[in-house]
Amino acid sequence: MKKYITPSLVLLAINASAQWTQEKGKGYYKIGAWFLEANEHYTDTSLVDPNITRGHFITSFYGRVGLTNKLTLIGYLPYTQVYQNGQRFSSGLPSLPGESFASLGDIDLAVEYQLWKKKGWAFSTSLILGLPTGDDAGGSDGSYQTGDDEFNQSLQFNLGKSFPIGKQNFYFKSNISINQRSKGYSDEWHFGLETGTKIAKDKLLLLGRFNTRQSLQNESLSAVNNNGSIFANNVEVTNLGGEIIYGFSKVWSINFTRSFPISGKVIYKAPALAAGIALEL
């Protein structure tokens, strides 16, 4: 039986772009692209196995706007394409054609509320809703998923601080959350760290990230669906990554991101690349 891994396409898409809450009427808007192609994956026991090469390409819109000085509305809208390369066999067996499928992915909506801000510290909480707007049975065999067909909600706490080291200013941010999933999927906990600093007359922001997603293993939904594909229950992954953001005007910036898993279960083992252009008003 062929098996295809469905990755966590955007590991906390909202979290990865989290900032301090926006001021009233101000916003941050980004159009981005995210790409991953993999020919191996982590099994449910963290071993690494090969798989037929599959790729995922996501174009997305991310936005956040301040409803008040303490309350921020956030949204993430992805359009996802999943493809598989054609296969040719030297043994003389018939070749297998490639295939692709594209649709709207799962939309995330969130609100973030500032609980406390003082002396460079900022503490907030977020409620994130994952809407099942993607397709969980795309393609000829149903394994080209662009969503998981389940509604989930995540309660997250965010802590950040800006601080100087010598004459250089830095910041760090952290977040921790519980993601409650439906339709037999296990709940999860998430944790992330981020730090960065600006250089080149504050036009270039360099940052590094660490994040992890771990399953609570509290549901028994099979990893193999009726079409023989491994779906995203009990996914676990720990990622390291970095991002470069260049501000080429007072309101416009471009960004380039790379991340890679250092451990995982039921997920692709491959680096992910992303790029985008952002407007801050």
The enclosing domain of 124 has a CATH number of 2.40.160.40
Give the pLDDT score at 98.
86
Position 5 in a domain:
no
Distance CA 175, CA 159 (A): 6
Q: How many domains does the chain have?
A: 1
Which one, of 2, 34, 12, 9, lies nearest residue 268 by Cα?
9
Q: What is the mean pLDDT of residues 224-252?
A: 80
Position 1 in a domain:
no
Position 68 in a domain:
yes
Model confidence, pTM? 0.89
Position 201 in a domain:
yes
Position 200 in a domain:
yes
Burial class (CB in 10 A: 0-12, 13-18, 19+), 15: buried
Give the pLDDT score at 135.
92
Give the pLDDT score at 225.
45
Position 192 in a domain:
yes
Give the pLDDT score at 93.
64
Give the pLDDT score at 2.
44
Give the pLDDT score at 28.
96
Position 8 in a domain:
no
Position 86 confidence tier, pLDDT thresholds 50, 70, 90: confident
Position 271 confidence tier, pLDDT thresholds 50, 70, 90: very high
pLDDT tops 70 at residue 8: no
Position 178 in a domain:
yes
pLDDT per residue as tens digits for the range 117-166: 998 899 999 999 999 999 988 998 888 989 988 999 999 999 999 999 99
Give the pLDDT score at 204.
97
The secondary structure of 147-177 as a DSSP string is: --S--EEEEEEEEEEEEEETTEEEEEEEEEE
pLDDT per residue as tens digits for the range 16-42: 444 578 999 999 999 999 999 999 999
Give the pLDDT score at 11.
42
What are the contacts of 35-40 at 24+ separation with CB within 8 A? 35/272, 35/273, 35/274, 36/7, 36/9, 36/268, 36/270, 36/271, 36/272, 36/273, 37/270, 38/5, 38/7, 38/268, 38/269, 38/270, 39/270, 40/268, 40/269, 40/270
Which one, of 16, 17, 111, lies nearest residue 65 by Cα?
111
Which are the contacts of 95, defined by CB distance < 8 A and separation ≥ 6?
86, 87, 88, 89
Domain that holds residue 145: 13-280
Question: In the structure encoding, which two tokens stand for residue 36, read together?
Answer: 């991953």
Give the pLDDT score at 6.
53
